[in-house]
Amino acid sequence: MKLKYKFSMIEVGDEINAVPGGAGAKAFHGILNLNETGKTIMMLLEQDREPDAVVAHFVASYPDSDPAEIREDVMGFIQQLSAHGLLI
């Protein structure tokens, strides 16, 4: 799976916003407000990746965290992206 549209990440102060560009701007009317984790997930999904690869990235990055909790959080975000039609 990967992002359906190209997004630009705009950081203003402590806020991170993802804004669709090109065809995405016409198809998706909105801005995503993200945290660092959401930004990283979206950056990883610019390339075609399996959900397990995204989870594995965070498990490796945060070895002291509970892998089951990481999986739940990452999959929840991916499901939100899918529900809004942002993944292919």
Q: What are the sequence ranges of the domains in the chain?
A: 7-83
Asked if pLDDT for residue 23 goes beyond 90, the answer is: no
Q: Are strands 7-12 and 15-20 parallel, antiparallel or unpaired?
A: antiparallel
39-70, pLDDT tens digit by residue?
999 999 999 999 999 999 999 999 999 999 99
Distance CA 42, CA 84 (A): 14
Q: Summarize the confidence of residues 9-33 as an average pLDDT.
A: 93
**pLDDT > 70 fraction of the chain, expressed in percent and rounded:** 100
